[in-house]
Amino acid sequence: MESALQSLTTEQPNLESQALDTKSALEIATIINNEDSKVAAVVGKALPQIAQAIDAVADALARGGRLIYIGAGTSGRIAALDAAECPPTFSTDPKQVQFVIAGGERALGRAVEANEDSPKLGQCDIAKVKPSKKDIVVGIAASGRTPYTVAALAYAKKKGAKTIGVSCNSNSLLSQAADIAIAAEVGPEIISGSTRMKAGTAQKMILNMITTGAMTRLGYVYGNLMINVSPTNEKLVERAITILSKAADTSRTRAAEALSKSGRSVPLALIMLKTGASVGEAKRRLKAARGNVRRAIESSGSAKPSDTR
């Protein structure tokens, strides 16, 4: 165990942060910021694999499958955050993007790291959500060797699910267990072994790319506008009106009217504004386009010019 950990780049001492405990607050913040600035470039080297993951997730969701994250500790908590953000951002069903974390949901607020050493627990926990060939399972582990996560991914693969491994060390056990291996080698952490830092940042960036990319491919984004947002409070209603006004190049008054007529469905309101369709027709178009708003708008061959009065 000791030799295996010592060989990982994420566990190596960081020469830039030696004597960190003797530095001023500004010096500490500067050192951390300098190291953090390297993360995006490292993630950039994995873009081809991230693109594969985006297409694989979009394909699974389009076929009625699920995206299931699994991880332990920091990795599991980052996965949980990304899964929790998908419904309010893209109006996805909570069952579409799920997370499994070692120790269960109580591990979100309390460290139960001992569970990550158990392959059996990993297999049992992923088995509870019944992964199938329709699903895609993403294992996240900074080290790439977490027994819980590696075993869970292997189990999901055996059940026919497509698998993705996200780690911060190359040639890891997690990468070997995955159909698509994404490795962002961020190197030594500011505090040796504290993978909640650069490794956690890299993982957050990668998961953001995967879900945002997949949802965009599915048509839940129009241009660069979040047109699948759920307007469930006053702030989000205002945001929805602004989005509709921009997307349809129309007045806020007209955008608000369309949003109201659509039953607060931003996609339906946009289709109505762009094509002149009734609510019923907009629903039929959106269903025929399998939720892809642009396809629903363009299905008639041309969009109706917006009334900008």
Give the torsion sign (CA, 123, 128, 134, 140): negative
| Per-residue pLDDT, 74 | 93
Q: What phi and psi, each to the nearest 5 degrees, are found at residue 149?
A: -75, -40
Query: What is the CATH T-level fold of the domain 2-217, as seen in this structure?
Result: Rossmann fold (3.40.50)
Cβ partners under 8 Å of residue 142, min gap 6:
10, 74, 75, 167, 168, 169, 195, 199, 200, 203
Decide if 116 is catalytic: yes
Tell me the average confidence (pLDDT) per consecutive run of 10 residues in the chain, 309 residues long: 60 81 96 96 98 98 97 95 94 95 89 80 96 98 95 97 96 95 93 90 98 96 91 92 96 96 96 95 94 89 43
| Per-residue pLDDT, 113 | 67
Secondary structure of 174-240 in the HEC alphabet?
HHHHCCEEEECCCCCCCCCCCCCCHHHHHHHHHHHHHHHHHHHHCCCCECCECCCCCCCCHHHHHHH
> pTM of whole model > 0.75?
yes
Catalytic residue among 11, 35, 105, 116: 116
| Per-residue pLDDT, 212 | 97
- Asked if the domains 2-217 and 234-298 are classified in one and the same CATH topology, the answer is no
Which amino acid belongs to residue 207? Answer: L
Task: Yes or no: say if 249 and 308 are a contact pair by the CB < 8 Å rule.
Answer: yes
Per DSSP, the chain holds a count of helices (H) and strands (E) of 14, 5
Query: Where are the domains positioned within the chain?
Result: 2-217, 234-298
Task: Yes or no: say if 226 and 85 are a contact pair by the CB < 8 Å rule.
Answer: no
| Per-residue pLDDT, 7 | 67
* Rounded alpha-carbon distances, angstroms, from residue 106 to 19, 77, 187, 293: 35, 11, 30, 38
Decide if 85 is catalytic: yes
Query: What is the CATH T-level fold of the domain 234-298, as seen in this structure?
Result: Helicase, Ruva Protein; domain 3 (1.10.8)
Task: Yes or no: say if 70 and 149 are a contact pair by the CB < 8 Å rule.
Answer: yes
Catalytic residue among 85, 185, 257, 298: 85
| Per-residue pLDDT, 305 | 46
> Which DSSP state fits 306?
P
| Per-residue pLDDT, 2 | 46
Task: Yes or no: say if 138 and 161 are a contact pair by the CB < 8 Å rule.
Answer: no
| Per-residue pLDDT, 98 | 97
